[in-house]
Amino acid sequence: MAIKGKPEIDRERCKGCMLCVRACPTKVLEADAAPNSWGYYPARAAAPDKCIACGNCYLVCPDVAVTVYKL
Amino acid sequence: MELAYGHPKSLKPIQTKYCPGCGHGVIHRIICEVIDELGLQEKSIITNPVGCSIWADLYFDIDSVQPAHGRTPAAATGVKRVRPDHLVICYQGDGDLAAIGTAEIVHAANRGEKFTTIFVNNAIYGMTGGQMAPTTLVGQKATTAPYGRDPEGAGMGYPIHVLEMLATLEGTRYLARGSVNNAANVRKTKQYIKKAFEAQMSGVGFTMVEILSQCPTNWSMDPQESVEWLEKNMIPFYQLGEVKNTLEASK
Amino acid sequence: MAEEKRLMKGNDAIGEAAIRAGCTAYFGYPITPQNELTAYMARHMIDHKRTFIQAESEVSAINMVFGAAAAGARAMTSSSSPGISLKQEGISYACGADVPCVVVNVARSGPGLGGISPGQGDYFQATRGGGHGDYFHLVLAPKSVQEAAELTFEAFDLADQWRMPVMILADGMIGQMMEGVTFPEPRDLEKLPARPWAAGGQYKTHRPINHVSSINLVPDELEAKVHERFLRYEQIKKKEIRFEEVNTDKADLILVAYGTSSRVCLGAQQMAKALGIELGIFRPISLWPFPYDRIAALAAKGKRFLTVEMSMGQMVQDVQLAVAGKAQVSFYGRCGGNIPTEEAVLAEARKLLGK
């Protein structure tokens, strides 16, 4: 049974650096079209069902903007 | 649903002043993860100096002492000698450690001081707007090397391999170089930090983890480009891994 | 106090006094004429199992002091003039972060490398806040080995009380000469004043975290902080003025001098007495805060002043400030490492008195 996960992005902590998008092996994440209150375009879980809870997004995020859950 | 990766307790849950994509954020977090894992939040002291590191005490939820530029290892020496049972983290950038503070780091290392130095190497001066650092690569541009670092012609010297230099000193026990460019390296770097902290708490010194980090703003790149630049240029030059590990021998 | 009087060199006596005061961390670097102090601390701090480090430079030493004091220790460093120049940034940081510590300057002649003989050319550096920014710190000037020991012992308490560096401004003569000295009883290390603001020990009380720092990028906040500090300085000016007066009632001409110069003036005063000439002595002991009011009071009584220094004239400016144009202030000094002689001071005084 493959591990399934769920990333939760804190839109206001995220600065839109997109390093998580680069790091994600299953292309769960992308830039959100709607900016946050700082003017950044935060990451968004566009394909959450592809998440395998590897934690790469969390590991490379400089702002602890993403929390990862194992389902 | 269970939490797999979450916010460390000893890191304050506030947005940082660091630029988008800056390596400091990752480094702060993995240090706090280790502090949490070792249960040392109320027994840790960070010395953080001038440079972007000056903000560190806003985010680490631990006691801090702010020394003058370059003197961080001297202040950390004072702190650790007075509080030997605490985890003392000497957190520096490349200007602080390898330029103005060269004497202090060399002699703290030589004395085998029992604090752990975290050396954030982004090959540029961040806070002050992108001047050449002792670790700036040959040909790399900076505001004080507008045509690129020219070691011989313009007399700018070559970039310094700090850990390899310090490894010649007998007082050094654990010197490792990590990087925060990708998830695998972030994991490895955290392991180096944990090893260094555990060594410190068991009474061993001198320990240091140099961490290659991206500086998108002063490299004039966006975060993803900067990580690629680090991978292509810094990692081949500043090799990753444990440069010196005589921890077994210290036991 | 059944302590016997001992014959000791000034540098050694300062060291012994510091250890008795509860100095738990000393960081120094060799420089003449205070090397005996560093060596004394090396032996005795190690014997007492306290922290001693010969640092890689005077810069490093003051920053080790900063770290150690910020973490709760009674920390001290010592040097001589050029090394004190190196420490100015660190002293500014200690003042900006309100970190107590003791800095001993066994002054020599300058500027630059200068000489190793005694000098008093560091007065401005000591009393004007020699580093950058708006700050002051206590400066105490002993005249003898005994006083050097007493002031050093007290300096640690004053540093803790007022949360600032306290400087002992001695000179090479005091550091090198040998005189009888009696020491106070050693402080109980368990009974030293607490430092609730210091780093370390959070696990014992679970208090909020402490940051020992001097940065503030918000102008209004930094200004408020500096103003608050200056209010403390006003308190210090009320409570910590120290000076010694000899024969200031009878004499019309008062010799103003501190440290070794004051010993010379005392000699001149006694030579004058034998000749039937009245001279007075005003010896500031606290150079900051400076005893302006007392000098002004003497000026109001019609006294004249001859300031004697081992410099081109630094403290004389404070005497001039004190009298505010209401009295004649003259100056006699030697520099380069030369010490004024009693004969020369007497001759100068006689010239002024027309006697």
Instruction: Work out whether the CA dihedral C114, C117, C123, C129 comes out positive or negative.
Output: positive
How much is the pLDDT for B249?
72
Q: Reply yes or no on whether the pLDDT at C280 is more than 80.
A: yes
Amino acid at C248: T
> In this structure, is residue B8 part of a structural domain?
no
B71·C73 Cβ contact <8 A: no
Range of the domain at B202: 23-250
Reported as a single tens digit per residue, the pLDDT across C181-203 is 999 999 999 999 999 999 999 99
The answer to whether residue C75 neighbours chain B at the CB level (below 8 Å) is yes
Compare B213 and B251 and report the one with higher pLDDT. B213
d(CA C314, CA C121): 7
Amino acid at C113: L
Q: Reply yes or no on whether the pLDDT at C131 is more than 70.
A: yes
- Closest-CA residue of C relative to B58 is C211
Supply the DSSP symbol for A10. Answer: -
The average pLDDT across C274-279 equals: 97
**Helices C292-300, C315-323: crossing angle, 10 deg rounding:** 50
Do B43 and C203 meet the contact criterion of CB atoms below 8 Å apart?
Answer: yes
Domain stops at, among C146, C167, C199: C199
B82·C59 Cβ contact <8 A: no
In this structure, the answer to whether residues C111 and C254 fall within a common structural domain is no
* pLDDT above 70: percentage of residues in chain C: 99
d(CA A53, CA B4): 7
The answer to whether residue B83 neighbours chain C at the CB level (below 8 Å) is yes
Q: What residues of chain C, 250 to 279, have a C-beta less than 8 Å from chain B?
A: none
How much is the pLDDT for B250?
60
Chain C nearest-CA distance from B38, in A, is: 14
How much is the pLDDT for C242?
98
Chain B nearest-CA distance from A30, in A, is: 13
Reported as a single tens digit per residue, the pLDDT across B3-21 is 999 999 999 999 999 999 9
> In this structure, is residue C37 part of a structural domain?
yes
The average pLDDT across B109-116 equals: 98
> In this structure, is residue B198 part of a structural domain?
yes
Mean pLDDT computed over every residue of chain A: 96
Q: Locate tokens 């150690």: which residue?
A: C68
Q: How many domains does chain B have?
A: 1
Among A6, A18, A56, whose Cβ lies nearest the Cβ of B223?
A18
In this structure, the answer to whether residues C189 and C249 fall within a common structural domain is no
The answer to whether residue A8 neighbours chain B at the CB level (below 8 Å) is no
Q: Could you give the C-alpha distances from C5 to B22, C41, C75, C144, C147, in angstroms and in order?
A: 64, 20, 27, 14, 13
Chains in touch with B (3+ beta-carbon pairs under 8 Å) read: A, C
Q: Reply yes or no on whether the pLDDT at B135 is more than 80.
A: yes
Chain C nearest-CA distance from B44, in A, is: 7
Q: What does residue B47 show for φ and ψ, rounded to 5 degrees?
A: -110, 115
DSSP strand pairing (C138-140 vs A66-70): unpaired
Q: What residues of chain A, 42 to 61, have a C-beta less than 8 Å from chain B?
A: 53-56, 58-61
How much is the pLDDT for C3?
79
In this structure, the answer to whether residues C130 and C250 fall within a common structural domain is no
d(CA B36, CA A49): 31
Reported as a single tens digit per residue, the pLDDT across B217-244 is 999 999 999 999 999 999 999 999 999 9
Q: Reply yes or no on whether the pLDDT at C2 is more than 60.
A: no
Q: What residues of chain C, 199 to 238, have a C-beta less than 8 Å from chain B?
A: 199-203, 206, 209-215
Among B61, B62, B71, whose Cβ lies nearest the Cβ of C59?
B71
For residue B211, the domain's CATH number is: 3.40.50.970
Q: How many domains does chain C have?
A: 2
B79·C60 Cβ contact <8 A: no
> In this structure, is residue B173 part of a structural domain?
yes
> In this structure, is residue C210 part of a structural domain?
no
> In this structure, is residue B58 part of a structural domain?
yes
The answer to whether residue C57 neighbours chain B at the CB level (below 8 Å) is yes
Reported as a single tens digit per residue, the pLDDT across C43-102 is 999 999 999 999 999 999 999 999 999 999 999 999 999 999 999 999 999 999 999 999
Write down all domains in chain A, each with its CATH number in brackets: 5-70 (3.30.70.20)
Q: Locate tokens 């005063």: which residue?
A: C269
Kindly report whether the peptide bond that precedes residue C184 is cis, defined as omega within 30 degrees of 0. Answer: no
The answer to whether residue C100 neighbours chain B at the CB level (below 8 Å) is no
Chain B nearest-CA distance from A52, in A, is: 11
- Closest-CA residue of A relative to B187 is A59
Q: Reply yes or no on whether the pLDDT at C166 is more than 90.
A: yes
- Residue A2 — pLDDT band, cuts 50, 70, 90? confident
How much is the pLDDT for B205?
87
> In this structure, is residue B105 part of a structural domain?
yes
pTM over cut 0.90: yes
> In this structure, is residue B18 part of a structural domain?
no
- Closest-CA residue of A relative to B179 is A60
Q: Reply yes or no on whether the pLDDT at B251 is more than 70.
A: no
What is the value of ipTM here, to two decimals?
A: 0.96
Reported as a single tens digit per residue, the pLDDT across C204-253 is 999 999 999 999 999 999 999 999 999 999 999 999 999 999 999 999 99
> In this structure, is residue B62 part of a structural domain?
yes
For residue C263, the domain's CATH number is: 3.40.50.920
The answer to whether residue B107 neighbours chain C at the CB level (below 8 Å) is yes
Range of the domain at C120: 6-199
For residue C97, the domain's CATH number is: 3.40.50.970
Nearest to C136 by CA among C25, C215, C231, C71: C231
Instruction: Indicate the helix (H) or strand (E) that contains C341.
Output: none
Residues of chain B found within 8 Å of residue A9, distances taken between Cβ atoms: none
Chains in touch with A (3+ beta-carbon pairs under 8 Å) read: B
Q: Which residues of A28-67 are buried (b: 16+ CB within 10 A; e: fewer)?
A: bbbbbeeebeeebbbbbbeeeeebbbbbbbbbbbbbbbbb
Do B165 and B210 meet the contact criterion of CB atoms below 8 Å apart?
Answer: no
> In this structure, is residue B150 part of a structural domain?
yes
Residues of chain B found within 8 Å of residue C212, distances taken between Cβ atoms: 64-66
Among C56, C200, C206, whose Cβ lies nearest the Cβ of B103?
C56
